[in-house]
Amino acid sequence: MDKFSYVNATSLKQVTSLLSDSGWGEVMLIAGGTDLLSELKEYIETPKTLINLKTLPDMDGISADANGLTIGALTTVADIAMHPTIQHHYTVLAQAAASVATPQIRNVGTIGGNLCQRPRCWYYRDETVNCIKKGGDLCYAVDGLSKYHAILGGDPVYIVHPSDIAPALIALNASMKITGPEGEKTMKVEEFFTLPSDNPFRENVLQPNEIVVEIQIPNPKPNTKSFYLKAREKGAPDFALASVAGVFEMAGRTCQSANIVLGGVAPKPWRSTEAETALTGKMVNNAVSMKAGEEAVQKARPLNDNEYKVTLTQNLISRAAMMAVS
Amino acid sequence: MSEKDKEKKQGKNISRRSFIKGVGTGTVAATVAPAILVGDDQAAEAQTDEAVASARIQLNINEETTEIEVEARTTLLSVLRDGIDTTGNNVDLTGAKLICDKGECGGCTVLVDGKPVYACMLLAMDAQGKQITTVEGIANGDDLHPVQEAFIQHDALMCGFCTPGFVVSSVALLNENNKPTIAEIKEGLSGNTCRCGTYPFIFDAVETASQKM
Amino acid sequence: MASWGEASQSRLIGKRITRLSGKDKVTGKAKYTYDINRPGMLYARILRSDVAHANVIDIDLSRAEELPGVSAVLPIIEVGKKLRYQGQEIAAVAAETDEIAKDALRLIFVDLEELPYVVTEEDALAEGAPEIRDDWKGNKSNPGKNEEGDVDAAFNEAAVTVEATYHTPVQTHVCLETHGHVVEWTDDQNLTVWASTQAVFGVRNDFARRFELPANQVRVITEHMGGGFGSKFGPGVEGHTAAQLSKITGKPVKLMLTRRAEHLVAGNRPSMTQQVKAGASSDGRLIAYDMRGYGTGGISSGAGFTGPYVYHVENQRTERFNVVTNAGNQRAMRAPGHPQGAFAMDSLMDELAEKLGMNPLEFRRINDSSEVRQAQYTLGAQEIGWHKRNTIPGSGTGVKKRGIGVGSGQWGGGGGRGTQARVTINADGTVEAVTGTQDLGTGIRTAIAIIVAEEFGLQPTDISVKIGDSAPGLPSGGSGGSQTTASVAPVIKTAAETAKQKLFAHVAPLLQAPVDDLRVGNGTIYVASDRTKTVTWHQATGLLGMESISEGGSWDQELSQHGVAGTQFAEVEVDTETGNVQVIKIVAVQDCGLAINRLTTESQINGGVIMGLGQTLLEERIMDPLTGRMLNANLEDYKVPGTYEIPEIKSIVFDTHRKVSGVGEPPCIPTLGAIANAVYNAIGVRIRELPITPDKVLNALAEKKA
């Protein structure tokens, strides 16, 4: 880690003013720090100043009301995983949170940080490799080794978005509140994430002078079942080879609506409208669930080493769909 | 491989100078505010919005207060292992180990306000005002914690390098859930890695310890 | 004739005894090299090559030297020389803090002229590949060839043949305590080194040679060490560099490798690729074997592996060679050459058995001449429930399919000469056992205490065991080849026996009995022919007055034996939708001769199984042809088993005789074949390349379907 100076945040206003003059990388935000510090240790980022968000008041906590759930951006992943209301009514979120890394990381890592974490790509995380994300000309995964890379939405950068929580939030139609110099705005979590074709350097639309403040999740409709399925090579602390966040509104065995969001297979959490369409209005059985999986990967373009992810994704989707009727 | 990259690979006189980024290290410290006593509540409050490159802080480690000068980048693990406090004594709590340096292996696990965290991934400044318990603080004097006794009884250690981390994680697990199933033990200890392969006896030890808690 | 006596007579030997170092290890008090903190100590780090192959054009240390807090900067490679692998040492820094040392590395400027490289065996063997060693022609060594019997005739006779290619990738040791030293010159002629090593005396002698000192002026200390697995026999560049930096600065220096460097330069198990053809007769005899194989040990050779393995085959032709690549050197790793050879052989045996329509266990019984393993097959098959296996591989129903497999191994593990030890009985009743061996976590410290305590009628905790220090001048060999206990135990035993006889000589007049009528009881010495005549241990040692009894021991071949056999059975569950392989249970039946301590022996068997499991399902050094770099030189993408991967392990200490053999390495051998064969039994598709990861399983299932 290079040297940096450290500022404790006192208010959102102070944070945005400290951020406002700098571009990316000079002044950075730290909450749990579990992702940021690993970047600093590898010199992937070398900020001059870190702003410690943990000292901000009222940004940590989960509250439920008639409209749904509000989660402060500083809420730890562990608190989300273990929250009884989330476990019962927002199961996909609790399962996704519980699948993150290890207990030690979950105790420190925050939901805001989880959404803003940077890719795990082994080229990106190697200081000596100047890939497109770092201003170079090449996505090394294309001609290099690509076992853990994207099969969907890759061009020209084939990273995968590492978050488990993001797919769950999108599947739950969550929104997020962002503060910047011009004040507060709210957007769908789904709209927060971008593809490399729009911006190869960042994975979301957050500006250098903005900060994620809270997450809002509407009440799930009655008769909703939800699951997070995550495939990995090693039980922990692996990131997903592929994952599926599935939220199903069921009437008996009939799927009235389905939200299917994939993790680990694309540079952003990947909403599969194809799979959703294949399930909506159908009696869910083996054939229908398999069809949903097949539809989801129609547009997959695997690299040299990750064709298996096509099958894996397909299988996870159909497994999730079948769980909705079991 | 693109033409451009081929060129790069086969080029002459490739200077690795380019991998040194920006200004040299060591220059940041000179341009920022002098050290302040952040450990003192009043001072901290007065100074919180000022950037500091280093500070004199107070940490509560194993129920004792340690005052120490740290850089902003200093990790808690570095303080525990290599720190020299303001009275000139080595902190010398070397039970926690740096193994992966990346928040994956659990060798540096300590309790912060009772919860297990990786000390290699926590800045020392962020540990202020919290109760830090290292493996050295798990036993009550000479009386071993039931987890420690059970680890010895079941031979839940070989080379022992990962053992402090496993002991701390096991204590944290049993504090939360004093009758864990085998699946819950695996989950609770999933942030710790052993290379000698002591896991089966660690699971046995945690089960035995749970019967005494 | 010396003997360990009957099992029924042993009070301690062969029982489950907790280890002496347990309390220090669970409280964090155990001090490893990494934990040594000396007054005024400097922290050192090494700048390493970022590239696989390059000429060094220029090294500029000046800015690093100017950084406040830096005490010394030392070039390691000379300008004009070649860097031949990522991680190779360029220069080193010693500084007041570790952070300053890290900063200083980034102020060393190096101009490199990159050269073409090969980092995979495939690239190294390709036509027109750059030749990467000046002293070799091409990247291939001359093959070692062997031929026995009449191979071609045997193939003609064979009822079935199998041709297959098996591959295991490079595995790294992943010692949790990285390689490293704390070095302190007490004056310019005396050097003290805390070393994370498995060879205290080997390291001492190396430093003595390197710095032209008499060996007794170098003291090496290894009180505890965090894993070696074969990679920690010498000081390496990092040890010598630490000593030089300490000499230059006049201060103690700590230099531990980073996790990345540990993967890159601290050794690895070479890869193996073998193309094999084998034939069996209709009555199930393995009669013909023809194998061509190679591996890479990085920039060095040494990529040997066994084959054929364990099972007898009369007609065989083999050819094997080394392939050099621009990657860090191989080093011995837990049963060098064996696990990879066993994986190929056990897979091959199952493939042949299937073609013969024969139960794979039956096929092994026919071809295995080891009586020990024959007995192990019976025991292991019962324990795993061999009858539950799929008679037709892959015939199970459902998404998650179970299968059962078997694998075998063979190892030496006998002891040898070269250990000196001293057992001392003091007048106050205290007992000390001293020798220059080291405890890698195997439990040798406790084994020594058990042997002495058994001899003296005391408890292991009564014995003060001093090992891991060269200062007493009692050498012992490096801990390799699973030979430590088998080498040390006889010397300790004979030393204790001699000391006991001396003590008896003091006691005999008091008890009015001849020495050979004396025996030890539980903390007592008594007369065998009249048990009313007895003294306590302390009364006896009190007779020594101002003296102590201090005896050396000697090697005794009768107390040790070479050759241990092992068999393992695995039950796995394969999720055919995710490709995930979960090992449900391993039964490890491991011959180890006399187990001095059954508890730590079981620990070692568990550990071997788990390392074998890692090699089968997770571990692989991933070298990138595009950048010439190892992409997973960390513990995130280089995956070693964690809690979720651990199956139920039934470790069966199969002690066949009352002589000591070693058990450190052998239990990691049969695991690979057992799991791989179980996966095949579950899904009916064979995966011949390790590790068996979800991508390979899914691809194999897709091919089967197509």
In B, minimum Cα distance to C103 occurs at B25
Angle between helices C444-456 and C484-511 in degrees, nearest 10: 20
Query: ∠C64-C70-C73 over CA atoms, to 5°?
Result: 55
Residue B5's closest CA among C623, A138, C625? A138
Question: Identity (one letter) of the amino acid at C294?
Answer: Y
Which residues in chain C touch residue B155, judged by CB atoms under 8 angstroms apart?
18-19, 22, 599-600, 602-603
Give B159's Cβ-side CA count (13 Å radius): 28
User: Which of the pair, C251 or A22, is modelled with greater confidence?
Assistant: C251
Q: Do B4 and A102 touch (CB under 8 A)?
A: no
Residue C397: per-residue pLDDT: 92
Region C397-409 average pLDDT? 97
Q: What's the gap in Å between the CA of C342 and the closest CA on chain B?
A: 20
Which residues in chain A touch residue B115, judged by CB atoms under 8 angstroms apart?
78, 107
DSSP, res C429: S
pLDDT at B36 over 70: no
Task: Please report which helix (H) or strand (E) contains residue C55, including its range.
Answer: strand C54-60
A147 closest CB neighbour out of C577, C642, C695: C695
pLDDT at B27 over 80: no
Residue B28: per-residue pLDDT: 28
Which residues in chain C touch residue A120, judged by CB atoms under 8 angstroms apart?
636
Query: Is B169 in the A-facing interface, judged by CB distances under 8 Å?
Result: yes
Q: What is the mean pLDDT of chain B?
A: 83
**Bridge-based pairing state of the strands A270-271 and C190-195:** unpaired
Region C592-598 average pLDDT? 95
Q: Do A33 and B187 touch (CB under 8 A)?
A: no
Q: What is the mean pLDDT of chain C?
A: 97
Positions of E strands within chain A: 5-8, 27-30, 49-52, 62-65, 68-72, 175-180, 183-188, 211-218, 224-231, 242-251, 254-263, 270-271
Q: How confident is the model at residue C79 (pLDDT cuts 50, 70, 90)?
A: very high
* Residue that has been written with the tokens 């290292």 in this structure: B134
Q: Do A6 and B53 touch (CB under 8 A)?
A: yes
Residue B41: per-residue pLDDT: 39
Could you tell me if A213 and A179 are in contact, meaning their C-beta atoms sit under 8 angstroms apart?
yes
Which residues in chain A touch residue C627, judged by CB atoms under 8 angstroms apart?
123, 126, 128-129, 140, 144
Residue B40: per-residue pLDDT: 39
Region B66-82 average pLDDT? 98
Which residues in chain B touch residue C37, judged by CB atoms under 8 angstroms apart?
82, 90, 92, 94
ipTM of the complex: 0.97
* Residue that has been written with the tokens 């003609």 in this structure: C156
In A, minimum Cα distance to B122 occurs at A33
Residue A18 and residue A9: Cα distance in Å, rounded? 10
Coil, strand or helix: which one is A27?
strand
| Interfacial B residues in 84-123 facing A (CB < 8 Å) | 101-104, 106, 109, 112, 115-118, 121-123
User: What backbone torsions phi and psi does residue B198 show, to the nearest 5 degrees?
Assistant: -90, 0
Residues in contact with A16: Cβ distance below 8 Å, sequence separation at least 6, in sequence order: A179, A180, A181, A209, A210, A211
A-B CB pairs within 8 A amount to 125
Q: Do C627 and A126 touch (CB under 8 A)?
A: yes
Distances (CA, A) of B55 to B27, B39, C486: 17, 9, 55
Residue A311: per-residue pLDDT: 98
Angle between helices B199-211 and B146-153 in degrees, nearest 10: 140
* Residue that has been written with the tokens 């720090």 in this structure: A33
3-state helix, strand and coil shares in percent for chain B, rounded to the nearest 5: 40, 20, 45
Percent of chain B with pLDDT over 70: 77
Which residues in chain B touch residue C106, judged by CB atoms under 8 angstroms apart?
20, 24-25
Could you tell me if C324 and C295 are in contact, meaning their C-beta atoms sit under 8 angstroms apart?
no
Task: Give the best residue of C97, C631, C638 to mutate against chain A (max A CB count within 10 A).
Answer: C631
Query: Is C604 in the B-facing interface, judged by CB distances under 8 Å?
Result: yes
Q: Do B196 and C67 touch (CB under 8 A)?
A: no
- Reading the block at residue A214, the tokens are 């809270």
Tens digits of residue pLDDT in C195-214: 999 999 999 999 999 999 99
- Reading the block at residue C306, the tokens are 């066994």
Region C412-423 average pLDDT? 95
Range name among A16-25, C10-19, C617-626 with the lowest pLDDT average: A16-25
Query: Is B7 in the A-facing interface, judged by CB distances under 8 Å?
Result: no
User: What backbone torsions phi and psi does residue A250 show, to the nearest 5 degrees?
Assistant: -115, 145
Q: Do A308 and C579 touch (CB under 8 A)?
A: yes
pLDDT at B29 over 60: no
Which residues in chain B touch residue C23, judged by CB atoms under 8 angstroms apart?
144, 148, 152
Q: What's the gap in Å between the CA of B191 and the closest CA on chain A?
A: 5
Give B158's Cβ-side CA count (13 Å radius): 30
B-C CB pairs within 8 A amount to 213
Maximum Cα–Cα distance for chain C, whole Å? Answer: 88
Coil, strand or helix: which one is C275?
strand
A241 closest CB neighbour out of C639, C644, C694: C694
Please report all neighbours of A, defined by 3+ CB atom pairs within 8 A: B, C
Burial degree of A57 (CB within 10 A; 0-12, 13-18, 19+) = exposed
A-C CB pairs within 8 A amount to 83
Residue C574 and residue C685: Cα distance in Å, rounded? 12
Which residues in chain A touch residue C103, judged by CB atoms under 8 angstroms apart?
2-3
Residue C484 and residue A68: Cα distance in Å, rounded? 65
Coil, strand or helix: which one is C567?
strand
Tens digits of residue pLDDT in B37-47: 333 333 333 34
Tens digits of residue pLDDT in A146-170: 999 999 999 999 999 999 999 999 9
Residue C706: per-residue pLDDT: 85
Q: What's the gap in Å between the CA of B104 and the closest CA on chain A?
A: 7
Coil, strand or helix: which one is C440?
coil
User: What backbone torsions phi and psi does residue C62 show, to the nearest 5 degrees?
Assistant: -60, -45
Coil, strand or helix: which one is C465?
strand
Tens digits of residue pLDDT in A257-290: 999 999 999 999 999 999 999 999 999 999 999 9
Q: Do A37 and B103 touch (CB under 8 A)?
A: yes
Query: Is C78 in the B-facing interface, judged by CB distances under 8 Å?
Result: no
Which residues in chain B touch residue C29, judged by CB atoms under 8 angstroms apart?
95, 136
Residue C1: per-residue pLDDT: 63
Q: What's the gap in Å between the CA of C412 and the closest CA on chain B?
A: 21
Q: Do B51 and A6 touch (CB under 8 A)?
A: yes
Handedness of CA A229, A234, A239, A241 (dihedral sign): negative
Region B67-74 average pLDDT? 98
User: What backbone torsions phi and psi does residue C77 show, to the nearest 5 degrees?
Assistant: -100, 150
In B, minimum Cα distance to A99 occurs at B187
Task: Give the best residue of C21, C27, C445, C461 to mutate against chain B (max B CB count within 10 A).
Answer: C27
Residue C232: per-residue pLDDT: 98
Angle between helices C670-683 and C338-356 in degrees, nearest 10: 40
Residue A31: per-residue pLDDT: 98
Q: What's the gap in Å between the CA of C545 and the closest CA on chain B?
A: 34
Residue A210 and residue C161: Cα distance in Å, rounded? 68
| Interfacial C residues in 224-283 facing B (CB < 8 Å) | 224-227, 229, 258-259
Tens digits of residue pLDDT in A70-111: 999 999 999 999 999 999 999 999 999 999 999 999 999 999
Q: What's the gap in Å between the CA of A170 and the closest CA on chain B?
A: 26
A311 closest CB neighbour out of C99, C102, C702: C702
Could you tell me if C276 and C163 are in contact, meaning their C-beta atoms sit under 8 angstroms apart?
yes
**Bridge-based pairing state of the strands B36-37 and B54-61:** parallel
Could you tell me if A52 and B126 are in contact, meaning their C-beta atoms sit under 8 angstroms apart?
yes
Residue B9: per-residue pLDDT: 36
Tens digits of residue pLDDT in B151-168: 999 999 999 999 999 999
Range name among A194-208, B10-24, C311-325, C389-403 with the lowest pLDDT average: B10-24
Q: How confident is the model at residue A241 (pLDDT cuts 50, 70, 90)?
A: very high
Residue C656: per-residue pLDDT: 83
Percent of chain A with pLDDT over 90: 98
Query: Is A312 in the C-facing interface, judged by CB distances under 8 Å?
Result: yes
Please report all neighbours of B, defined by 3+ CB atom pairs within 8 A: A, C
* Residue that has been written with the tokens 């009768």 in this structure: C558
Tens digits of residue pLDDT in B110-161: 999 999 999 999 999 999 999 999 999 999 999 999 999 999 999 999 999 9
Tens digits of residue pLDDT in A100-140: 999 999 999 999 999 999 999 999 999 999 999 999 999 99
Q: Do B109 and A2 touch (CB under 8 A)?
A: no
C27 closest CB neighbour out of B10, B148, B194: B148
Residue C600 and residue B196: Cα distance in Å, rounded? 12
Side-by-side strand order, sheet with A254-263: A224-231, A242-251, A254-263, A270-271
Query: Is C601 in the B-facing interface, judged by CB distances under 8 Å?
Result: no
B191 closest CB neighbour out of A4, A138, A236: A236
Residue B213: per-residue pLDDT: 86
pLDDT at A47 over 50: yes
Residue A266 and residue A276: Cα distance in Å, rounded? 17
pTM of the model: 0.96
Q: Do A103 and B25 touch (CB under 8 A)?
A: no
Tens digits of residue pLDDT in C87-114: 999 999 999 999 999 999 999 999 999 9
Q: How confident is the model at residue B49 (pLDDT cuts 50, 70, 90)?
A: low
Q: What's the gap in Å between the CA of C690 and the closest CA on chain A?
A: 13
Q: Do C626 and A143 touch (CB under 8 A)?
A: yes
Tens digits of residue pLDDT in C445-481: 999 999 999 999 999 999 999 999 999 999 999 999 9
Q: Do C579 and A312 touch (CB under 8 A)?
A: yes
